[in-house]
């Protein structure tokens, strides 16, 4: 997968604002991504099992992301094209689906309550993906959810209910790609991804005006751009990217952006279906779906989804390395949420209700883990308490690192009582914690 923070382009003499990542983002640790759009109507992609690879020449014709359907369906002989013609018939285009998209089960208040109950502190719905279909009442194009399909401003509904649920609000926006206003052949390679896109001034203004609408109306706490930004907007001037950042930060002083703009201004780094190998000196965000696609993929089943314990471990591993987890849920086209994905969110939420103090508001310690022995992760609370997160409590016991033994004897405790440490640092895990995906021992950081 790409690391977008390395794609910063040439120095064009533009000064971008120098900003620290705001404390609210560093404290939040867990957010929910929502990929829901026109691509949810077919809701299909070539399923790919975790760890399964395909040859490079088939990477895009057999794309596992359902939100890429508008591209994949245009590749002759692709499985998506075959699916589309069997389901909708020859002659029905992807954009024709805008008139059959209905959202009768959409419950924005229910969505946001669920996300908050499951421990999320921020939410990032997709305002416009690569297909160009806008989920708000935009003046820039009639290809939107108010003029077509749902006949509703979906972003306004989600923004209102996110704030009502106490969640910070972000918007995903595809800045580099908009297939509705482009006339390129389908993307078939990584090279195509960055070359088959518009970089002209008219498109740059179009993108600027779309994001400006969202900023002016909803003051999102986070702007999550994808792929890049039109190159003609990177040299400054009217409708330039530097002007967009200035407008955004004036509207949202504690706002934050990600790293996918193609310029040197990086709010925080993103890692898609990837992690950092160790504690990072920069703030970053791991993002992935509960399955192998972000958008809902009807071809996926339990084999493609994250395991419940695996999900808890993913969160604590990410936080221990100075990161946040932005975990995606892909709603059905009608607005209902897939039960198997909801169940996993609830499982994570149940763990966070008990052990959230080991996650929220923490910072990385001097190391995130141990090189050998029972798997643990470390996070540091603001008061100097060290969380030793034991990832295999079912083992019944573990050996504490030598530099923590003295502190654990004096200050160590489990959620339900003190800890006993022998002279070798061996610790027995209480029976009531052994069935959990992770247990937390707290000690005073040495």
CA geometry: angle 166, 170, 176, nearest 5 deg: 175
Summarize pLDDT for 99-151 with one digit per residue, the tens: 999 999 999 999 999 999 999 999 999 999 999 999 999 999 999 999 999 99
Q: Supply φ then ψ for residue 397, to 5 degrees.
A: -160, 160
Q: Where are the alpha helices (DSSP H) in 379-439?
A: 405-411
Q: Average of pLDDT values for 41-64?
A: 96
DSSP one-letter string for 244-292: HHHHHHHH-TT-EE-STTSSS--SSEEEES---SS--SS-EEEEEESSS
Structure confidence at residue 415 (pLDDT): 85
Low-confidence winner among 124-128, 344-348, 370-374, 428-432 (lowest mean pLDDT): 370-374
Q: Evaluate whether 330 touches 64 at the Cβ level (below 8 Å).
A: no
Q: Average of pLDDT values for 400-417?
A: 93
Q: Running DSSP on this structure, what letter comes out for residue 131?
A: T
Q: Is the pTM of this model over 0.75?
A: yes
- pLDDT > 70 in the chain, percent: 100
Structure confidence at residue 243 (pLDDT): 96
**Binning pLDDT at 50, 70 and 90, where does residue 11 land?**
confident
Summarize pLDDT for 247-274 with one digit per residue, the tens: 999 999 999 999 999 998 989 999 999 9
Summarize pLDDT for 211-242 with one digit per residue, the tens: 999 999 999 999 999 999 999 999 989 999 99
CA 35, CA 124: separation in Å to the nearest integer?
9
Shortest CA distance to 208 belongs to which of 218, 216, 197, 196?
Answer: 216
Q: Evaluate whether 368 touches 401 at the Cβ level (below 8 Å).
A: no
3-state secondary structure of 264: coil
Q: Average of pLDDT values for 163-177?
A: 98
Structure confidence at residue 373 (pLDDT): 82
Alpha-carbon distances of 306 from 10, 68, 340, rounded to whole Å: 39, 21, 10
CA 402, CA 400: separation in Å to the nearest integer?
6
Q: Evaluate whether 312 touches 22 at the Cβ level (below 8 Å).
A: no
**Binning pLDDT at 50, 70 and 90, where does residue 12 land?**
confident
**Binning pLDDT at 50, 70 and 90, where does residue 78 land?**
very high
Shortest CA distance to 291 belongs to which of 334, 234, 345?
Answer: 345
- For residue 416, pLDDT beyond 90: no
With both helix axes pointing from N to C terminus, report the angle between 308-320 and 339-355 in degrees, rounded to the nearest 10: 50
Q: Running DSSP on this structure, what letter comes out for residue 340?
A: H
Q: Average of pLDDT values for 37-52?
A: 97
E-assigned strand segments in 250-334: 256-257, 269-272, 284-289, 323-329
CA 171, CA 155: separation in Å to the nearest integer?
9
Average pLDDT, rounded, for the chain: 96
Q: Average of pLDDT values for 45-51?
A: 96
Burial tier of 21 (Cβ tally within 10 Å: 0-12, 13-18, 19+):
middle
Structure confidence at residue 330 (pLDDT): 98
Low-confidence winner among 194-203, 260-269, 415-424 (lowest mean pLDDT): 415-424
CA 150, CA 350: separation in Å to the nearest integer?
34
């Amino acid at each position: 997968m790409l690391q977008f923070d390395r794609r910063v382009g040439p120095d064009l003499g533009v000064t971008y604002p120098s900003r620290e990542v705001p404390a609210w983002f560093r404290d939040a640790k867990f957010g929910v991504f929502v990929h829901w759009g026109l691509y949810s109507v077919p809701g299909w992609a070539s399923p790919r099992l975790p760890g399964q690879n395909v040859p490079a020449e088939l990477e895009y014709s057999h794309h596992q992301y359902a939100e890429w359907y508008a591209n994949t369906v245009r590749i002759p002989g692709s499985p998506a094209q075959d699916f589309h013609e069997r389901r909708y018939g020859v002659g029905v285009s992807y954009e024709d689906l805008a008139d059959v998209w209905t959202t009768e089960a959409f419950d924005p208040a229910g969505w946001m309550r669920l996300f908050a109950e499951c421990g999320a502190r921020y939410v990032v719905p997709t305002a416009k993906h690569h297909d160009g279909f806008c989920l708000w009442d935009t003046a820039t194009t009639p290809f939107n959810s108010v003029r077509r399909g749902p006949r509703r401003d979906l972003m306004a509904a989600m923004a209102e209910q996110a704030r009502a649920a106490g969640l910070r609000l972000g918007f995903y926006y595809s800045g580099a790609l908009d297939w509705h206003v482009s006339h390129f052949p389908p993307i078939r390679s990584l090279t195509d991804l960055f070359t088959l896109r518009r970089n002209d001034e008219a498109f740059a203004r179009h993108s600027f005006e779309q994001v400006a609408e969202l900023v002016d109306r909803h003051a999102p706490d986070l702007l999550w751009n994808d792929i890049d930004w039109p190159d003609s907007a990177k040299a400054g001037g009217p409708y330039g990217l530097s002007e967009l950042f200035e407008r955004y930060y004036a509207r949202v002083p504690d706002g934050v952006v990600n790293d996918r703009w193609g310029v040197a201004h990086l709010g925080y780094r993103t890692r898609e279906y990837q992690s950092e190998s160790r504690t990072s000196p920069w703030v970053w965000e791991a993002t992935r779906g509960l399955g192998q696609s972000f958008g809902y993929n009807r071809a996926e089943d339990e084999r493609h989804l994250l395991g419940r314990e695996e999900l808890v471990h993913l969160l604590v591993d990410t936080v221990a390395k100075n990161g946040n987890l932005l975990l995606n849920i892909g709603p059905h086209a009608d607005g209902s949420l897939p039960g198997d994905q909801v169940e996993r969110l609830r499982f994570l939420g149940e763990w966070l209700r008990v052990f959230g103090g080991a996650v929220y508001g923490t910072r990385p310690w001097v190391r995130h883990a141990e090189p050998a022995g029972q798997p643990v992760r470390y996070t540091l609370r603001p008061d100097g308490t060290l969380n030793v997160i034991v990832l295999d409590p079912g083992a019944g016991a573990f050996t504490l690192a030598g530099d923590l033994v003295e502190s654990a004897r004096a200050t160590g405790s489990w959620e339900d009582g003190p800890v006993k440490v022998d002279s070798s640092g061996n610790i027995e895990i209480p029976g009531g914690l052994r069935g959990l995906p992770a247990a937390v021992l707290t000690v005073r950081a040495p």
